[in-house]
Each structure stands twice: as structure tokens, then as C-alpha cells.
A = this chain, B = another copy of it.
Amino acid sequence: MGMVGGGQGAFIGAIHRIAAQMDNEIELVCGAFSSDPERSLESGKALYLDPARCYGSYQEMFHREKELPADKRMDMVTIVTPNHLHFPVARLALESGFHVMSDKPATLTLKEALELAALVKQSSLLYGLSHTYTGYPMVKEAKSRIAAGALGKIKKVVVEYPQGWLAAKENEQSKQASWRLDPAQSGISCCIGDIGVHAANLAEYITGLEITALSASLTTNVEDRLLDDDGTVLLRFNNNAHGVLLASQISVGEENNLRIRVYGERASLDWSQLEPNSLLMKFPDQASQLIRSGVGELAQATITSLRTPAGHPEGYLEAFANLYRGFAYRLRSRLETDNTGGHLLEETNALDVPGIYEAVRGMAFIENVVAASQSELKWHPFSLVPNEELAIIPQGAKHA
């Protein structure tokens, strides 16, 4: 695996490296860690890489790696740059014949996402996207139970993702904040684009449903801010269930509190990322079940996703590693002649990896929500057509 971005001091690069290498299936062999060749080299050396494979640009990396013998060169590239580079890097990687694992979001616009989707299809290379929360074992348990009909028909979904770190103006100066609040690097939305889209993805992943209509209200709660930092979206799904999505970056004191509740006709499920090894299942008229990772009868996908026995908490890095493990299995099944991995993949969602489908739906979600928020009408159909009209205006202005 080669890495683009993630040089020294970059947070997300280190996370990807731990996740990618956790299961001993993927090895980091090269990188273009920074657009500054000096810094890229330093970063690579700190990772004990061969200095010759620490490149000064992703263009150089793709070019040079392509020329190496097949058994020496990297198979895949992972993209951990700022958002606005995800698309051009992924495009060139695919054109150069490398499989791609991209940090979320896939692109800056829906239009780019659709272009990327066409490219992926044409290339028949693998494309993975870090909707990390789908990698949690108890998320897979929830998905499995719903798919097996344990809840009956889904009636309502409440998914919320409150954070508090953008509540204060001062925090805008941080490295994490500054690019997220800059439309040039982050696109049309901050809160929905950064975290709301994770919540929407999780809702669709767990329920197996698709959003078909929505009503949205985004707000900007700090002076001079250009993008939304809070939003509520009402949802309608393709089975006529309805839902509510709350996303916020100004909810003071909230860490990263992604939580989803799914209510069906026969039972409901409640999962929270801050206590990821538990899943609460409630019933109309019997005691609730507190389902714990590793305890009792669990879905095959859940069991496969766990690395430790009951009572040994697993967390975010393990969830992330499940995405990479899935990617590695898929890749290996292509690289190896006996191709046994592929068979396994047919039967289980343990090793599924969010991909180009999720990339397109995610960018569409963002554009639909921003458009709906700017409309005076309540409800809007979920559209996969790029919206060229979207203005970047502070969302809170109209209610001020």
C-alpha cells in the first residue's frame, strides 16, 4: 500500500496506517506524504520506509511505482489528503491502475462523484471509502438482525451525530477546523458534509433502506462563518418509513456522539458509538435485551468482525481496520488464483467495504440537504442529479 497525504503532524494518516496494518494483511511500502518532498521524505523515514519510495508528489509516486515489477510495486493507494484533493488523486490512481481506498468524502461535488463512479466502473479496480462507523461489529449485528426481519417493517429511524468542537469562534483557527469551514477545501457544507453524511450512511447501511425525500434546516451559529455548523433533516425512506437526522458541531460538550435508533413494528434497536460494544434491543412488551459483543448468539458478520473475546472492549481503530481487512480480502481474492476470498464475501457483510455507491449517495445527500435547506418548501425528493445552483450562503442568515 502507498499513501498520499498523512505526513508528520497529520492526524488522520496515522489512523489509516494503524487500521490498514492491524491484521497483517496490508503493508505500507511507499508514500507521497506531503507536497514538500523534504517533508515527505522525513515522514517516510520516521515510518522506517525505503527512502527511495518516499515521493515528492502523488503524480511521481504513481508514475514510478507503475514502472516497478509487479511483485514489487504497491497494489493499492490510500488517500488521506484534504478533501479537495480526494477526487484528483483517486482519478489519477485509477488511471494508473491502482486500487483506491479513499478517506471520506469521495469528492467535493456530486458531479465529481458521478464522474468517479464512471471511472471506477470502467477500470474494474477496487474503490473503498472510509465510512468507518459501518465497520463496528455491533453495527453489523444490527444490520444482520434487521435484514433477518427481527424488527418487522421499519417505521422510524432517529440518527443523531452531535459534536461540540466548533461551538467557539476561537476553535476555528485549529488545523482541523480551518479547512472544514473553507468552502474551497470543504465544499458546499461543513456539518452535513463532515458528519451528517456519516449519519445518513449509517441509517441506510443498518436499515437497508434508501432515503427518497427530505426536509432540511441548516444553521450557522457563529459570526462570519460561511458554512453550516448544525442541521436537522427529516427523512422519508423507500418503504415509507420516516426518520430524523440531527447533526451538530456546536453542541457544547458532545464528543463524537453518533447514535442510531431504529424502530420497527416488532422491536427496536439502539446503538451508540461511544459505547460501541453494546446494542440495546427493545420490545413492545417484554424485557429489553442488552446485546454485548462476544456474548451469546451473534450474526456471523459480527463474529468475524471481532478480534477479542467478550469483555475486551474494541473501538474505533478496530472498526476502521475492519474496512481495510475487507478491502484486503477483496483485493487478495483478485490477486490470488484460487480466489477463495471471493466466496466468503458473497455470504457475509462482515467484510463489506463502503464504495463508490456510497460515495455517490453521500455527495447527493449533501447537495440535496443544502438545497432543501435553502428552499421555503418543506419536502423535496432525493435526487441524484447534480445541483449547479447551490449558493454558498450562511445557512443561519435567513432566520437571523
Give the distance in Å from the alpha carbon of A165 to the alpha carbon of B213 in the complex.
Answer: 27
- Known contacts: A267-B253, A275-B275. The answer to whether A284 contacts B164 by CB under 8 A is yes
Q: Which of A13-21, A99-107, A111-119, A200-208 contacts B (4 or more CB under 8 A)?
A: A13-21
Q: Which residues of B contact A163 (CB under 8 A)?
A: 311
Prevailing SS type, chain A contact patch = loop
A400, B296: Cβ atoms closer than 8 Å:
no
B290, A295: Cβ atoms closer than 8 Å:
no
Q: Which residues of B contact A288 (CB under 8 A)?
A: 253, 289-290, 292, 295
Mask: chain A, 138-170; 1 = CB below 8 Å from B; 0 = not: 000000000000000001101010111101100
Taking the nearest CB of chain B, how far is it from the CB of A289, in angstroms?
Answer: 4
Size category of the A interface is 35 or more
Most B Cβ at <10 Å: residue of A28, A236, A290? A290
- Known contacts: A156-B248, A289-B289. The answer to whether A255 contacts B310 by CB under 8 A is yes
The answer, yes or no, to whether A263 is at the interface (CB within 8 Å) is yes
The answer, yes or no, to whether A128 is at the interface (CB within 8 Å) is no
Interface residues of A in 90-132 (CB under 8 A from B): none
The answer, yes or no, to whether A56 is at the interface (CB within 8 Å) is no
Interface residues of A in 268-291 (CB under 8 A from B): 268, 273-277, 280-291
Give the distance in Å from the alpha carbon of A250 to the alpha carbon of B113 in the complex.
Answer: 37
The answer, yes or no, to whether A265 is at the interface (CB within 8 Å) is yes
Q: Which residues of B contact A283 (CB under 8 A)?
A: 252-253, 296
**A residues lining the B interface (CB < 8 Å):** 11, 14-15, 17-18, 21-24, 28, 47-48, 155-156, 158, 160, 162-165, 167-168, 213, 215, 217, 219, 221, 230, 232, 234, 236, 240, 242, 244, 246, 248, 250-257, 261, 263-268, 273-277, 280-292, 294-297, 307-318, 375-379, 399-400
Q: A156-B230, A156-B250, A167-B263 are in contact. List 6 more A-B contacts (CB 8 A).
A: A18-B22, A24-B47, A158-B246, A236-B399, A288-B289, A307-B317
